[in-house]
Amino acid sequence: MSKKLKVVTIGGGSSYTPELVEGFIKRYHEFPINELWLVDIEEGRHKLEIVGALAKRMVKAAGIDCQVYLTLDRREALKDADFVTTQLRVGLLDARILDERIPLSHGLIGQETNGAGGIFKALRTIPVILNIVDEMKELCPNAWLINFTNPSGMITEAVLRYGNWNKVVGLCNIPVNAVYEEAAILDEDPSDLFFQFAGINHLHWHTVFDKKGVDRTDELIKKMYGSGETNSIVANIKDNRLIFEQVENLHMVPCPYHNYYYYTDKMLAEELEDFKNNGTRGEKVKGIEAELYELYKDPDLNDKPKQLEKRGGARYSDAACETITSIYNDKRTTMAVSTRNNGTITDLPDDCAVEVTCTLTGKGPVPYHFGSFKPQERGLLQLMKSMEELTIEAAVTGDRGTLLQAFMMNPLITSGDVAKQVMEELLEAHKKYLPNFFQ
Amino acid sequence: MSKKLKVVTIGGGSSYTPELVEGFIKRYHEFPINELWLVDIEEGRHKLEIVGALAKRMVKAAGIDCQVYLTLDRREALKDADFVTTQLRVGLLDARILDERIPLSHGLIGQETNGAGGIFKALRTIPVILNIVDEMKELCPNAWLINFTNPSGMITEAVLRYGNWNKVVGLCNIPVNAVYEEAAILDEDPSDLFFQFAGINHLHWHTVFDKKGVDRTDELIKKMYGSGETNSIVANIKDNRLIFEQVENLHMVPCPYHNYYYYTDKMLAEELEDFKNNGTRGEKVKGIEAELYELYKDPDLNDKPKQLEKRGGARYSDAACETITSIYNDKRTTMAVSTRNNGTITDLPDDCAVEVTCTLTGKGPVPYHFGSFKPQERGLLQLMKSMEELTIEAAVTGDRGTLLQAFMMNPLITSGDVAKQVMEELLEAHKKYLPNFFQ
Amino acid sequence: MSKKLKVVTIGGGSSYTPELVEGFIKRYHEFPINELWLVDIEEGRHKLEIVGALAKRMVKAAGIDCQVYLTLDRREALKDADFVTTQLRVGLLDARILDERIPLSHGLIGQETNGAGGIFKALRTIPVILNIVDEMKELCPNAWLINFTNPSGMITEAVLRYGNWNKVVGLCNIPVNAVYEEAAILDEDPSDLFFQFAGINHLHWHTVFDKKGVDRTDELIKKMYGSGETNSIVANIKDNRLIFEQVENLHMVPCPYHNYYYYTDKMLAEELEDFKNNGTRGEKVKGIEAELYELYKDPDLNDKPKQLEKRGGARYSDAACETITSIYNDKRTTMAVSTRNNGTITDLPDDCAVEVTCTLTGKGPVPYHFGSFKPQERGLLQLMKSMEELTIEAAVTGDRGTLLQAFMMNPLITSGDVAKQVMEELLEAHKKYLPNFFQ
Amino acid sequence: MSKKLKVVTIGGGSSYTPELVEGFIKRYHEFPINELWLVDIEEGRHKLEIVGALAKRMVKAAGIDCQVYLTLDRREALKDADFVTTQLRVGLLDARILDERIPLSHGLIGQETNGAGGIFKALRTIPVILNIVDEMKELCPNAWLINFTNPSGMITEAVLRYGNWNKVVGLCNIPVNAVYEEAAILDEDPSDLFFQFAGINHLHWHTVFDKKGVDRTDELIKKMYGSGETNSIVANIKDNRLIFEQVENLHMVPCPYHNYYYYTDKMLAEELEDFKNNGTRGEKVKGIEAELYELYKDPDLNDKPKQLEKRGGARYSDAACETITSIYNDKRTTMAVSTRNNGTITDLPDDCAVEVTCTLTGKGPVPYHFGSFKPQERGLLQLMKSMEELTIEAAVTGDRGTLLQAFMMNPLITSGDVAKQVMEELLEAHKKYLPNFFQ
């Protein structure tokens, strides 16, 4: 086939990009990428140039036949693309800081994917993503959209439901990290275990079976939660506060974000303490990023620096590159991604996005059927999905009444007057990125 | 038909009984009751004698041909009954006081039908009700069980799901009060309006249409919530804190208990303040009841005293007697009651109890079909139903893990350590009434 | 209210119209109709004039204050209508004769509501009905559409699904006849029985409970089918061939059209014999109608002539006038009509039309919830609904492939080559009325 | 692991056994079978001895370390088994001949898996299978039951629903044959295509995607049905009568058994002609089998004879051995098998068996989610599932009313009197194997 294999990364100036580039280099033998287009906006031009130069050095050092392009012209980049990845942040880290600061200053969880902050990140991002989808319909109608922008589940659902675009996969690094870390706990090879994840992005549960068909979930729960010490074993749940008595009865392993719902008070107290002493997480990340970009500038650097790992987001690149490679080759890799529910989880609407274990085929993710949850998991999952539906609808319509319902439904937001006040303050703070609400 | 028409009231010594007796007297022309059996337990013997004597005077004064029997022997009473009503309180008001005091002392909502208190009222009551059902299977297999014991929805579901007894109707006075009070707000006759309620006991929503088929719900919401003053218009939501912006977007009228979920913080702050100053509601009710029984003793009293109205529970008797009369006569009264879902609300499991508008026929309640909720209502409803399922399962199995899940799921209970601690304390406090948990 | 109460009858020249006029006269005290507009097309002008003159004489003789208007201008008639009834026949009786003759000549059931004939009646009628709905949206957006045009269920579904018009009720006289005739068999007053119908038009089942809540269905089945003689008792199922052993196990009473599905061979043999000897039913009806119009011409006739009863369609007018009166007055009559499923029958899609027992309120039919069928009824019902969906889709799209699927799915049509041949022949025969198929 | 790997084949004297033995030999490197127990009943002793001797020679010639045991004592065989395969025929070929002869003599399809014959094969087999399951619960509670006995879907559903045994897989060779033959038509390697099958045993449809994610189904349909010649290309649908116009609109490939439903008349005419000229298929098979057993007796034969291929059932062994090997090794082979629906096909009940594409893991088949069918496929599938449910229920309860409903529902059985007559005749003919019906 003479056609070039072209990947476009929107938000290409992100500090994560070197990981992605490394992922493509590692898989070049099975995914012979010809062109990698890194796209960013004017405000990100400086970062794009730094990261882009590093990407070019990496590709060159690897000796692969791939051109790296840097551009601020998204339409030029999208033309004839095969895969489009989105890792953008509307309003940059400054918007994140507001998402964290405003709720915290009212005594609420202030976090970029959960609670009021997560809702506003969705409000800002969804119109941009739907715009990208419109351009893809015109410029690269056969391309796949691989989204890692948070909140990944809501973005994916917006694309499916309002963008009417089915070739989308929503990614998150939590499932892939769980697979590696929990296999280690069980002293098994990850490929010898069958993990079945089900739920929605940042609120899912899973079971683990071994080669002999034995359900190892209870054993894993006991190892993870059964002693006071174990929490430190698992990096991605190092701040785990879940108690054994609680998790034991689920007979499914919850994801780390359950801490927010099951331990709201303690999480909030810690966040407020940390906020008082150290400011927001966004401010810290700003510092980390500045250091990273300094490193990236080094003209002798031609691989992903170790320091990036501290940034968080481990195995993101692995998930993304593996997804792309598996779709490209019909490789049928088993992975948990966000995709259209369509009955896979019978407790949730057909047309919503769910995060479930799929096989990644040439026609995209085909979910393994899940069925229904026990009441232990079901109620919270259904609540959060309603909240997501309201948020997405609000993002698309700009309707304040709908947005207020999303706030009321969210268990991390104190209802009533506070909800309304925080909502109004966030609307005002992000006005510039919320045209649907200010017409 | 030579057979006698026999009604049995379990918890017959209750201070509410005079209202029920009044209801039967009022409907004697269409429901010619021959025998009314008031049953109580040894601890309630004194109350039963006082109330029973009043009931006898009322019946005599009304000149109807009905015998009132007082007994502590439930089996004797149940023999050949046509209708059995349950208005019992396992552990009496002392248990209620614990349900209120223990959560409040940990900074949680302490209330007899909601939160931790509501869960424990269910735990104590369900084994007793299932025992009554077993006796009914033997002694009066054609009788209807009309339950007003709270939490009425969970009791009804336990009877349907674990008692395998279909001839049960769960009652609550909230829908009937809403009908009368909201018709007044709309300046219409209640019989000219079609109210469609859907949800579960103490968490439902409704729409109102008039004779011309016009949906009057939004108008009603505006009148109820649209000004700062209106709250005082409606007696049953006099403490209403819901804000117009929130309710407006539902396009359904919420029930008063939504205040607990939409305004948890404010409700809690007020409850804690009231608790600090005045002790628990149960303690107050104890005082009110003592006064009522003093009144009841008056040998010249032969009708329901006005003071009973202050006790709360208005129109309970109306709902109960109307239900019984409508089933007896196939009268097809339209009323919202708790019954098996079976698909009426498509968002909830088939085999759970829902509170929906029904027509009361000779074969019992036949629900008007409802369908599905918008996400605005759906998520919270589904969450609460999961919580109910877990509570009922815990009541039947005595499994602490399942009970802990119910606590975690309940939005009025702070999750994590507090949940576990309050749960353990309540288990210990009510030990005597929870044999399933202490074997 | 100064506004006039206006009813429009499309297909007003029908021989049934006198029954409808009689129905309005009988209900004038509760439905004070001011204007009755009889609309027809040019080909029906002659009939319209005859029937219209009779209608005017009937109204005058009754002494009610109602004007009867005759017109060929449908738009003029629809302006500001309150209720629109449709009893039209696209292609007149000549089209019916083809629907019967062509399948019969290939050895298939030839019938106007079933099999190939029923499918083609739907194909011809649906575009006309959707056209009427478009005019209603413009000219009388608050009116109700009361359809008695066959196949009534498919017409109703087309209006709901493709016309996006919710104010529609589909009527059939089978349920109302069953109520009267079966009450007589049980020696009860119809108003003392609770009939619950569920299924689709011309393929439904029902149960019967009495005032005491006793299920009388099995008793009724035994009386109807339990002896060789009983068939003649019931007029509307006088040709009933169902055997007791078969119906007994349903524990629901099937409708008469089940004969076509459960006794296809015998029904077909009889039809073919009758066709050979007497021609089609349509030809016979032509004769009957000619006689009726002769009678109608009599200037001294001012009430519905007895002979109309022989035409079939008994109690159609009763069903229609009662539906209209009940909606107008929020009278809450209990009646089985075709309406949107929405989950009432959980075995069928939400957005299809079902024929179920409803209460007729000011906001239209509110179904009593039904739930799910046993496998005994379920499979055939689901098959027929699929067939209906395909037929409606074919009518709207003009897609021959979809139409062929409807033919294949229909159990009264021999699949394969014959299906295709009969389909092609009918398409050609009705070409003029099927513009969607011949563009 | 010191434990021996033990496989038990019930109906071990079957002429198919050599194929199975060959399959195990071929996979010995990944499935190191230690013991193969061939079990049969007294009537099959002679065949068992012949086939068993051949199996022993085959194993010896292959040089693998596996013992072959022959026994009439099923309990001895089942003790500590790892896998149990069932390929039994209750009543032997004589029963099959009756299943074919009796319906045919009344002018109905007479076939061993469809119509009246298929129903009676299920009635005879289900009690035996449930008996085997009871023994497995006691003697080998960790074993997998791999069923190839027809009607495979109903047998599997009976095991799941009434046997309460989840470790069961129902097999059929139609999907595996379709994969190989259709890959050839598309000129692709089977492993480069993703086949998604959905439906029930002998009534399913599938789509085919290639590595590039391109849906090749329409192309395949055109190649298979688009010319008069193509039918002969595909061996397993060599008698295919489906017409292109019909299949084209499905956008799914139907299985060969659809011919019975879509071309009933033609299939029946051919069967009747063949019956008149040549007797039943069962009689022919008797002859073929006699020849095969003669061949098997040859002491020099130590591999599967070519002639077995003519017996039908190609790739059965492949499907069975691959299923066993994949479960044993958690090999995650993709294969269409009968398993519990549980929501995989949203149009069918949760607790029924469906035939869907699964991945075969260590914990058994995990289905790829399917979702819902278009009406084109849905109605017939739902009809047939209802028929299956009725048949299984009749087999377990011995209720003639339920069985009559299954007959009435089955589109291959003329309803009414004929159904009842054929049913009675078959009941009488198979009396000895139907104890539930004759108590």
At residue B228, the pLDDT reads: 62
First and final C-alpha spacing in chain C: 48
First and final C-alpha spacing in chain D: 48
- For the question of residue D262 being annotated catalytic, the response is no
What residues does B147 pair with on adjacent strands?
Answer: B86, B170
pLDDT tens column, A220-249: 999 998 876 544 333 334 456 788 888 999
The residue type at B429: A
Residue D332, min C-alpha distance to chain A (Å): 10
Is pLDDT above 90 for D171?
yes
Q: How many C-beta neighbours within 10 Å does residue C299 have?
A: 8
Query: Minimal CA–CA distance to D139: which of D59, D67, D222, D73?
Result: D73
Helix (H) or strand (E) segment spanning residue B146 = strand B144-147
Which of D166, D189, D330 best probes binding to A when mutated, by most A CB atoms within 10 angstroms?
A: D330
Which of D264, D409, D424, D427 best probes binding to C when mutated, by most C CB atoms within 10 angstroms?
A: D409
Over the range B97-120, which residues count as b (16 or more CB within 10 Å of their CB) and which as e? Answer: bbbbbbbbebebbbbbbbbbbbbb
What angle separates helix C174-185 from helix C217-225, to the nearest 10 degrees?
90
Which of A363, A370, A372, A374 best probes binding to D when mutated, by most D CB atoms within 10 angstroms?
A: A363
The residue type at A187: D
Of D16, D162, D257, D296, the active-site residue reads D257
Identify whether the C-beta of residue C325 lies closer than 8 Å to the C-beta of residue C125: no
Of B241 and A131, more confident: A131
CA B125 to chain centre: 13
pLDDT tens column, D46-100: 999 999 999 999 999 999 999 999 999 999 999 999 999 999 999 999 999 999 9
The residue type at B161: R
Is residue D404 within 8 angstroms of chain C, CB to CB?
yes
The answer to whether residue B124 is domain-embedded is yes
User: Cβ contact (<8 Å) for B418 and A265?
Assistant: yes
Distance CA D241, CA A23 (A): 52
Identify whether the C-beta of residue B140 lies closer than 8 Å to the C-beta of residue B78: yes
Least confident of B34-48, B229-243, C80-94, C239-253: B229-243
Chain C residue numbers touching B192 (CB-CB < 8 A): 330
At residue B229, the pLDDT reads: 53
Q: How many C-beta neighbours within 10 Å does residue D337 have?
A: 29
CB nearest A367 (choices: D210, D363, D369): D369
- pLDDT bracket for residue B3 (50, 70, 90): confident
Residue B215, min C-alpha distance to chain C (Å): 8
pLDDT tens column, D243-280: 888 899 999 999 989 989 988 888 899 899 999 999 99
pLDDT tens column, A106-150: 999 999 889 999 999 999 999 999 999 999 999 999 999 999 999
User: Cβ contact (<8 Å) for B376 and A383?
Assistant: no
Token pair for C430:
């009705």
CB nearest D362 (choices: A194, A346, A359): A194
The answer to whether residue B299 is domain-embedded is no
Is pLDDT above 70 for C216?
yes
Is residue D359 within 8 angstroms of chain A, CB to CB?
yes
The answer to whether residue D136 is domain-embedded is yes
The answer to whether residue B304 is domain-embedded is no
CB nearest C265 (choices: D241, D408, D416): D416
The residue type at A316: Y
Token pair for A399:
């309707």
Identify whether the C-beta of residue A353 lies closer than 8 Å to the C-beta of residue A55: no
Q: How many C-beta neighbours within 10 Å does residue B295 have?
A: 16
Is pLDDT above 50 for C1?
no
Residue C130, SS3 per DSSP:
helix
CB nearest A379 (choices: B245, B264, B409): B409
Chain B residue numbers touching C213 (CB-CB < 8 A): 327, 330, 361-364
Chain A residue numbers touching B416 (CB-CB < 8 A): 241, 243, 246, 262-266
Identify whether the C-beta of residue C151 lies closer than 8 Å to the C-beta of residue C113: yes
pLDDT tens column, D128-163: 999 999 999 999 999 999 999 999 999 999 999 999
Identify whether the C-beta of residue A221 lies closer than 8 Å to the C-beta of residue A205: no
Sheet containing A67-71, strands listed edge to edge, beginning at the edge strand earlier in sequence: A67-71, A35-39, A6-10, A83-86, A144-147, A168-170, A333-340, A353-361, A364-367
Distance CA B92, CA D54 (A): 79
User: Total domain count for chain D?
Assistant: 1
At residue B234, the pLDDT reads: 36
Q: Is C202 among the annotated ligand-binding positions?
A: yes
Distance CA C202, CA C153 (A): 8
Is pLDDT above 90 for A91?
yes
pTM above 0.90, yes or no: yes
User: Cβ contact (<8 Å) for D366 and A215?
Assistant: no
Distance CA B320, CA B9 (A): 11
Of B16, B162, B225, B257, the active-site residue reads B257
- pLDDT bracket for residue B235 (50, 70, 90): very low
- In eight-state DSSP terms, residue B15 is T
What residues does A86 pair with on adjacent strands?
Answer: A10, A147
Chain A residue numbers touching D359 (CB-CB < 8 A): 359, 368
Residues 213-242 of B with CB under 8 A from A: 241
Q: Residue D151 belongs to what domain range?
A: 6-171
Q: What are phi and psi of C79, to 5 degrees?
A: -50, 115
- Give residues with Cβ within 8 angstroms of C228, minimum separation 6: none
Distance CA A148, CA A160 (A): 15
The residue type at B130: L
User: Cβ contact (<8 Å) for A261 and B379?
Assistant: no
Query: Minimal CA–CA distance to D56: which of D351, D238, D303?
Result: D303
Residue D160, min C-alpha distance to chain A (Å): 16
The answer to whether residue D300 is domain-embedded is no
Distance CA B133, CA D272 (A): 60
Q: Is D150 among the annotated ligand-binding positions?
A: yes
Is residue C184 within 8 angstroms of chain D, CB to CB?
no
Mean pLDDT of chain D: 93
Q: What percent of chain C lies above the pLDDT cut of 90?
A: 82
Is residue B364 within 8 angstroms of chain C, CB to CB?
yes
- Give residues with Cβ within 8 angstroms of B2, minimum separation 6: none
Q: Where are the alpha helices (DSSP H) in A63-114?
A: 74-78, 92-105
User: Which chain C residue has its CA at the smallest distance from B351's CA?
Assistant: C371
The answer to whether residue A215 is domain-embedded is no
Chain A residue numbers touching B400 (CB-CB < 8 A): 245
Q: Dump strand ranges (E) for A11-103.
A: 35-39, 67-71, 83-86
Distance CA A349, CA C431 (A): 42
User: Cβ contact (<8 Å) for D194 and A362?
Assistant: yes
CB nearest C363 (choices: B209, B350, B369): B209
Is pLDDT above 50 for D300?
yes
ipTM of this complex: 0.94
First and final C-alpha spacing in chain A: 48
Q: Is B206 among the annotated ligand-binding positions?
A: no
Is residue A71 within 8 angstroms of chain D, CB to CB?
no
User: Cβ contact (<8 Å) for A330 and D215?
Assistant: no
What average pLDDT does range A334-351 have in this prediction? Answer: 97
User: Cβ contact (<8 Å) for D362 and A214?
Assistant: yes
pLDDT tens column, D302-339: 988 887 777 766 788 889 999 999 999 999 999 999 99
First and final C-alpha spacing in chain B: 48
At residue C139, the pLDDT reads: 98
- In eight-state DSSP terms, residue C289 is H
Which three-class secondary structure string do you get for chain D? Answer: CCCCCEEEEECCCCCCHHHHHHHHHHCCCCCCCCEEEEECCHHHHHHHHHHHHHHHHHHHHHCCCCEEEEECCHHHHHCCCCEEEECCCCCHHHHHHHHHHHHHHCCCCCCCCCHHHHHHHHHHHHHHHHHHHHHHHHHCCCCEEEECCCCHHHHHHHHHHCCCCCCEEECCCHHHHHHHHHHHHCCCCHHHEEEEEEEECCEEEEEEEECCCCECHHHHHHHHHCCCCHHHHCHHHCCCCCCHHHHHCCCCEECCCHHHHHCHHHHHHHHHHHHHHHCCHHHHHHHHHHHHHHHHCCCCCCCCCHHHHHHCCCCHHHHHHHHHHHHHHCCCEEEEEEEECCCCECCCCCCCEEEEEEEEECCEEEEECCECCCHHHHHHHHHHHHHHHHHHHHHHHCCHHHHHHHHHHCCCCCCCHHHHHHHHHHHHHCHHHCHHHCC
User: Cβ contact (<8 Å) for A415 and B263?
Assistant: yes
Is pLDDT above 60 for C340?
yes
- pLDDT bracket for residue B240 (50, 70, 90): low
Is pLDDT above 80 for D235?
no
Residues 312-341 of B with CB under 8 A from C: 327, 329-330, 332, 334
The answer to whether residue D54 is domain-embedded is yes
CB nearest A376 (choices: B263, B390, B418): B390
Residue B67, min C-alpha distance to chain A (Å): 47
- Give residues with Cβ within 8 angstroms of A55, minimum separation 6: A17, A18, A21, A36, A38, A68
User: Cβ contact (<8 Å) for A263 and B416?
Assistant: yes
CB nearest A364 (choices: D213, D344, D363): D213
At residue A231, the pLDDT reads: 45
User: Cβ contact (<8 Å) for D390 and C401?
Assistant: no
Identify whether the C-beta of residue C130 lies closer than 8 Å to the C-beta of residue C163: yes
Token pair for C99:
């629907």
Q: Please say whether the dihedral angle defined by the alpha carbons of residues B378, B379, B380 and B382, taken in this order, is positive or negative.
A: positive
Identify whether the C-beta of residue B385 lies closer than 8 Å to the C-beta of residue A415: no
What average pLDDT does range A301-306 have in this prediction? Answer: 86
Q: What are phi and psi of A203, to 5 degrees?
A: -155, 80
Is pLDDT above 90 for C157?
yes
Identify whether the C-beta of residue D323 lies closer than 8 Å to the C-beta of residue D360: yes
Sheet containing B67-71, strands listed edge to edge, beginning at the edge strand earlier in sequence: B67-71, B35-39, B6-10, B83-86, B144-147, B168-170, B333-340, B353-361, B364-367
Residue B342, min C-alpha distance to chain A (Å): 16
Residue B89, domain CATH? 3.40.50.720
At residue C317, the pLDDT reads: 82
Is pLDDT above 90 for C262?
no
User: Cβ contact (<8 Å) for B369 and C366?
Assistant: yes
At residue B262, the pLDDT reads: 86
- In eight-state DSSP terms, residue B33 is -
The answer to whether residue B384 is domain-embedded is no
The residue type at C326: S
Chain A residue numbers touching B261 (CB-CB < 8 A): 415
Chain B residue numbers touching A379 (CB-CB < 8 A): 382-387, 409
A48-51: list long-range contacts, CB under 8 Å, 24+ apart: A48/A12, A48/A13, A48/A72, A49/A13, A50/A13, A50/A293, A50/A296, A50/A297, A51/A12, A51/A13, A51/A14, A51/A15, A51/A17, A51/A18, A51/A293, A51/A296
**Residue D185, class by beta-carbon neighbours within 10 Å (0-12 exposed, 13-18 middle, 19+ buried)?**
middle
Query: Minimal CA–CA distance to B397: which of B164, B160, B130?
Result: B130
